[in-house]
Structures are given as C-alpha cells and as structure tokens.
Amino acid sequence: MIKRSTKKIGIKIYELLLPLMRLYRVRYWVVWTRFTFLKKKMCFADHNNTQIGEKTISHNLSAFELPRAVFGCGGRMGLLIYPIIGYFSKNRRSKKILVVGCRTEDDIYWLRAYGFIDTYGFDLISYSSNILLGDIHQTSFPDRTYDVILLGWMISYTKDPHSVIKECQRIMKPKGLLGISLEHNPLQDKEGLGSVRVNNLNCTDDIINLLDSASKHKIVFEYDHYNNGDQASVVISRLLS
C-alpha cells in the first residue's frame, strides 16, 4: 500500500511540474540532463533496410555533438506541435501521439507539457524508454493505434516515402492527423540533394502530392516557413482511409 501511495504521489508531482516544460530553457535543461545520465543505454534498431538512407544514422548521431542543435533544434518542431495543440483544445489526455525521428525526448516532453500525456517517440536510435525503437517503414504496432503521428524532418531520410505514409495510415486511428515537415531548399534543383537527403521532397506541394498518392486525406494545416534563412515546409492532414 505504501509503495502504491508513493507511486501515485510521484505521478501527481510529475504531472504538476510538466507545464514547466513549455519553457524552452527548462525543457532543454531537463532533456539534456536526462541524456547525460542515460546515454550509456543508447541502442539501435535494425537499420539495414535499403529504404533508409545510408547516412541517416551517422548524420543523426553527429548532431549529439552539438547540444543546442540536437536538444530542441532551435524550436523548429513548434511548426508541427503548436497546430496540434490548437486543433485539440479538449480531451488531450486521451490522444495517443507518436513522434517519429525525434532523436531526443524534447518533442515528447513538449507535447506532454500541454496535456498530451500519452506521447512517445519512435526512432532508429534510442536511449530512453520514452523513445520506442524501430523502423517506420514497417512497425509492430497494431492497426489503428495512434490519433496523431508526426514525421518531423525525417521524411527526407527515406528512399520510399510512399511506404512510410502507408504504414502511418495502417497504425493511425480513423480520421487521425498526420503531420509532415521538412527543410525547404530553394536551390535544390541546382545544387542537388546533398549528402543526407535521399528523395526529392522539398515543399508543401511535394508533401501533398505524396499524400494524394497514398491515401484519401483532408489538409487541416499547410505552411511554408521563411525566417532568417530557416526555411521549412509543413503539412498536417487528416487521413480519411
């Protein structure tokens, strides 16, 4: 009885403190500190899938050498997270959210801070029980598991984005939301894909065409972001089939 009471008290305190994670500096400190203690648990999913870009793992691991880049990534996930916050003004605790390609716990705690308690990450690399390990091309999740799936800046690492969308469609609940974001390079046609990208997706039109090819859907948010050289394309759509 004492253990159960202590656990309940701990959960209550945790949930009372969660709103503080809305603050970038607080969230950064917590996530960085947790990584410092947990990094020895770093493990990897099978990434020999030929659909995955060859440099995906090495590129994402290198980001950990730049804490300000990997822990928060300058707040760029807000382009996906804030529309989700606005869309679900009620019943946030009941929503199951999967953040694919999160690398760290930052996005997870960010969403939990706004009441989406049942939020987990999913990646090829993990050091935390909050980040489930696996490959989004083919997962072991049951059909119709998630209300929201966010593909934040990861769709450029797959050679088969259509497969990713189809798998998201399978594990998404009816009329669930799929959010996709990527870095927009206005010079891609001239410069090529670069060393990490392995497909041509480069703007909201490309994302929408991809969704059109894989599923019936209805766009709820579309945004091309341009700010001090930081350029991104974001689409959130409700999957209808």
Give me 81's structure tokens. Answer: 């997270």
* Cα–Cα dist 76/153, whole Å: 9
| CB-based contacts of 34-43 (< 8 A; 24+ apart in sequence) | 34/105, 34/128, 35/64, 35/71, 35/104, 35/105, 35/127, 35/128, 38/127, 38/128, 39/64, 39/127, 40/127, 41/127, 41/128, 42/125, 42/126, 42/127, 43/125, 43/126, 43/127, 43/133
Q: Where are the domains of the chain?
A: 2-239
Helix (H) or strand (E) run with residue 238 in it:
strand 230-239
pLDDT for the residue 48: 85
The radius of gyration computed from the CA coordinates of the chain, to the nearest angstrom, equals 18
Computed over every residue of the chain, the mean pLDDT equals 92
Q: Residue 192, class by beta-carbon neighbours within 10 Å (0-12 exposed, 13-18 middle, 19+ buried)?
A: exposed
Question: What pLDDT shows up at residue 47?
Answer: 82
CATH homologous superfamily of 2-239: Vaccinia Virus protein VP39 (3.40.50.150)
Residues of the chain with pLDDT under 50: 6, 9-10
Cβ-count burial 91-109 (b if 16+ within 10 Å, e if not): ebeebbbbbbbbbbbbbbb
The pLDDT of residue 9: 46
pLDDT tens profile 52-76 = 999 999 999 999 988 778 998 888 9
